[in-house]
Amino acid sequence: MKAPSFTLGRRAFIASLAASTALPMASLPSRLLAQEAKAGGMLRTVAWPAPTVLNSAISTAGTESFIAPKMFDGLLAYDTGLVPRGQLAESWDIAEDGLTVTFKLRDGVKWHDGTAFTAKDVAFTFMEVLKVIHGRGKATFAALEAVDTPDDLTAVFRLTTPSPAMMRALDSRESPILPAHIYEGTDIQANPANTAPIGTGPFKMAEYEVGSYIVLVKNPDYWDAGLPLLDRIIIQFVADAATRASMLEAGQIDGVFLNMLPAPEILRLDALPDFERDTKGYEAMPSAQQLDFNLDNEYLADIRVRHAIAHAIDTDWITQNIWYGLGAPGKSPLHVDQKEYYTTDGVPSYDYDLEKAKALLDEAGFAPAANGMRFSLMLDPSPWGTESIGAAPYIKEQLRQIGIDVTIRTQDFAVFTTTVWTERKGDLVLYTVNLGVDPVIGTQRFYWSKSYNPGVAFSNGAHYVNPQVDALLEAAQVELDPAKRKAQYAEFQQIVMADLPVLPITNIFGANIVNVKVKDTTIDALGALGGFSRAWIDA
């Protein structure tokens, strides 16, 4: 008999090795399984779209958020469960009234150009950059009045009101600390350092070809001794998702992070022995697909119509068929991963029931015309990703069945944001969005009456105004008592799911897909958006 092992391909060979070792190892305690991390080596990955700047304080776009934290540190990092841990701050102390937060900074930290890091950098970054230029920073740090620097290693944040959300937003992606000596007194948005970053982070920029790739190399003077483990990170900007998948499969890159492959590709590669999927490390960026109802529309202004539409759309169907199960059906304005506040207790839900939907529309007085249609609506799916465009025909068909004639309008990015948010010409708007690390940062903008602001994308597009919700959101913004805050957000979820200005469709589960030799890219709540300082290659 011929020995079959000689004809095995490379993958099958690795698989058989894995299978032969899996059984004896399964009985070992897990800590013995953890392999010794090896220093050295290079991680190759991809991103898209190409970044405009390399600084996530200036631009909060996706690629910027992925690359910049490798070169910049924040005051804090967050372990799984969003438990804060010191990064540039060694310790911190929140005063009882919540109005001052004192950070003791790490000593001996150096900027990539050799200058010493001090409290002045912290004060400058928060007051001159994050509060002024950062997209979300203006809201996140609204209560931050001043940063005092009694000495080089102490930064005292003075607040006008307590701000629990602020304490969630101090990581390297959301609030990277910038070098004051480089930026101070310059036009910050035009500073050349935006594309030649000088940070304190684990990696330094070595090479940057605008629009094509960036090469990062190990920062030998990183404050966290022995880290980072990798010598180099190479990030190529590749527009085509199928190309990204082929590159990973051919071994020309080592991992694709942050859902940069379509779900079917992630599942297909995950089934191969060379690759594994990782869905951890997305707590800091829960994202969701949702459907805004424009309440200025005469039909959608009627709550019965919104309830009818909710009954006609099977969010589980969309989650399984459009998201390939990489998500959970939306049941709340918050993400299911926002465990502290997410609840379904007492929160109205809308089971899939076409008859109930039709009855609600009848009750609202919108009887079907001779052709069976009651009225028409426009549906704008967001053009990024494929999932909103994919789910739009399903929604159109479902609503046709209850007598609502839907026209799907697919547009490019600029036209989509302009029609929907500037010109407010949309009726139903289906899109995916980042719900933020705290409800104040991500969710509030869709429901707070004061964030209704035509011209600003991803604001309160429904034009929802409910003083009770405003009061709850504003109270939770400054509430330091976790129990009280939890109760406030529970009530918020109950009210907005009853009023339904926005129909949550799917809570998206983020996914990385990496070659099995890539280890520890996800070590905390920031996941792939972190510094990759402990990532290593088992080669």
Partner 1 sequence: MSETLTTKRGPKAPSRAAVRYVLRRLGQAVLVMLLVVIGSFVLVKMSPGDFVDTLAGTSEMTADQMASLRARYGLDQPVPVQLLYYMARLVTLDFGFSPANNAPVIDVIAKRWPVTAILVIASVSISMVVGTLLGVMAARNAGKPVDLGLSVLMLVFYATPSFIIAVLMILIFSVKMNVLPIAGFASIGMGYTGWDYFKDVAWHLVMPVSALCTFYIAIYGRIGRAAMLEVMKLDFIRTARGKGLRERRVIYVHALRNALLPLVTMAGLQVSALVGGAVLIETIFGLNGMGRTAFDAVFQRDTNLLLGVVFISSLCVVVVNFGIDLLYMLLDPRVEVK
- Write out the residues near partner 1 by the rule CB under 8 A: 46, 49-50, 52-53, 59-62, 64, 133, 135-136, 138, 189, 194-195, 206-207, 209-213, 215, 232, 234, 236-240, 242-243, 246-247, 249-252, 412-419, 422-423, 453, 455-458
Closest CA to 527 of 69, 22, 16: 69
> In the complex, what is the shortest distance from the CB of residue 56 to partner 1, in angstroms, rounded to a whole number?
9
- Residue 98 or 426 having the CB closest to partner 1: 426
Provide, rounded to whole angstroms, the least separation between the CB of residue 411 and partner 1: 8
Is the distance from CB of 386 to CB of 321 less than 8 angstroms? no
Q: Tell the smallest beta-carbon distance from residue 92 to partner 1 (Å).
A: 26
Comparison of 238 and 528: residue with beta carbon closer to partner 1: 238
Secondary structure of 392-406 in the HEC alphabet?
HHHHHHHHHHCCEEE
Q: Give the residue with the Cβ less far from partner 1, 153 or 166.
A: 166
Closest CA to 287 of 348, 337, 331, 350: 337
H or E stretch at 149: strand 144-151
CB of 421 to partner 1, least distance (A): 9
For residue 84, whether the previous peptide bond is cis, meaning omega lies within 30 degrees of 0, is: no
**H/E run at residue 50:** none
The dihedrals phi and psi of 276, each to the nearest 5 degrees, come to -135, 150
Q: C-beta of 152: minimal distance to partner 1 in Å?
A: 32
Size of the chain, expressed as the number of residues it contains: 539
What span, in angstroms and rounded, lies between the C-alpha atoms of 91 and 104?
A: 5
Assess contact for 266 and 502: CB atoms under 8 A: no
Dihedral sign for Cα atoms in the order 302, 304, 305, 310: positive
Is the Cβ of residue 237 or residue 375 nearer to partner 1 in the bound state?
A: 237
- Nearest distance from residue 440's CB to partner 1, in Å? 13
User: 58 or 309: whose CB is closer to partner 1?
Assistant: 58
Nearer to partner 1, 231 or 520 (CB): 231
- 400/370 Cα distance (integer angstroms): 14
The nearer residue to partner 1, 102 or 418, going by C-beta atoms, is 418
3-state secondary structure 416-444: HHHHHHHCCCCCEEEEEEECCCCCCCCCH
Least Å distance, CB 247 to partner 1, is 5
Distances (CA, A) of 257 to 131, 245, 284, 434, 512: 29, 11, 14, 16, 4
CB 88 within 8 A of CB 105: yes
Q: Which helix H or strand E contains 367, and what residues bound it? A: none
Kindly state the smallest distance separating residue 108's Cβ from partner 1, in Å: 30
The smaller minimum CB distance to partner 1, of residues 227 and 420, is found at 420
How far is residue 527's CA from residue 282's CA, in Å, rounded to a whole number?
Answer: 6
Q: How far is the CB of 166 from partner 1 (least distance, A)?
A: 17
Q: Which is nearer to partner 1, 77 or 269 (CB)?
A: 269
Provide, rounded to whole angstroms, the least separation between the CB of residue 456 and partner 1: 5
Looking at this protein, which amino acid is placed at residue 339? K
Closest approach of Cβ 131 to partner 1, in Å? 11
300, 390, 426, 520, 526 from 294: Cα distances, Å: 7, 21, 7, 44, 34
Residue keyed to tokens 């009848």: 362
User: In 93-240, which residue ranges form alpha helices assigned H by DSSP?
Assistant: 119-124, 137-140, 180-183
For partner 1, give the closer residue by CB, 98 or 286.
286
DSSP 418: I
Q: Are 147 and 158 in contact (CB under 8 A)?
A: yes
Which residue number, 138 or 484, has a Cβ lying nearer to partner 1? 138
* Shortest CB 423 distance to partner 1, Å: 8
Minimum distance from residue 53 beta carbon to partner 1 (Å): 6
C-beta closer to partner 1: residue 199 or 436: 436
> In the complex with partner 1, which residue's Cβ is closer, 204 or 485?
204
Distance, CA of 432 to CA of 318 (rounded, Å)? 13
Shortest Cβ 306–partner 1 spacing (Å): 25
CA–CA distance, 313 with 502 (Å, rounded to integer): 13
User: How far is residue 408's CA from residue 403's CA, in Å, rounded to a whole number?
Assistant: 16
User: By C-beta, is 187 or 345 nearer to partner 1?
Assistant: 187
Q: Is the separation of the CB atoms in 295 and 309 below 8 Å? A: no
C-beta of residue 353 within 8 angstroms of C-beta of residue 309:
no
